[in-house]
Amino acid sequence: MLFSLRISLPDRPGTLGLVASAFGRGGANILTLDVIGSEGDLAVDDLLVEAPQGLTRALLLAKEEVPGLVVEELTSHEAFHDRMSPLELATVLTETGGSPVQVLVERLPEALRAEWCAVVRGTGNGLEVLGAGIGAPQLKGVCGSWLPLDGVRRLPPADWMPSSWTMGPGSKGGLGKFELAAAPLHEPSTVVMVARRDRPQFRKSELKELELLARICAAGSRTRAISG
Q: What confidence category does residue 171 fall into, taking pLDDT thresholds of 50, 70 and 90?
A: very low
Distance CA 61, CA 49 (A): 15
Q: What is the end-to-end Cα distance of the chain in Å, rounded?
A: 49
Q: Which residues fall within 8 angstroms of residue 97, CB to CB, at 6 or more apart? A: none
The domain in which residue 142 lies consists of: 86-227
Q: What is the CATH number of the domain that holds 54?
A: 3.30.70.260
Residue 115, classified by CB atoms within 10 Å of its CB into exposed (0-12), middle (13-18) or buried (19+), is buried
Decide if pLDDT at 70 tops 70: yes
Say yes or no: 8 and 110 in one domain.
Answer: no
Say yes or no: 135 and 61 in one domain.
Answer: no
Contact indicator for 181, 194 with CB cutoff of 8 Å: yes
Tell me the per-residue pLDDT of 102-116, one tens digit each, with 9 for 90 and over.
999 999 998 998 999
Say yes or no: 110 and 218 in one domain.
Answer: yes
Domain count across the chain: 2
Amino acid symbol at 198: D
Contact indicator for 196, 202 with CB cutoff of 8 Å: yes
Tell me the per-residue pLDDT of 193-222, one tens digit each, with 9 for 90 and over.
999 987 788 988 899 999 999 999 999 887
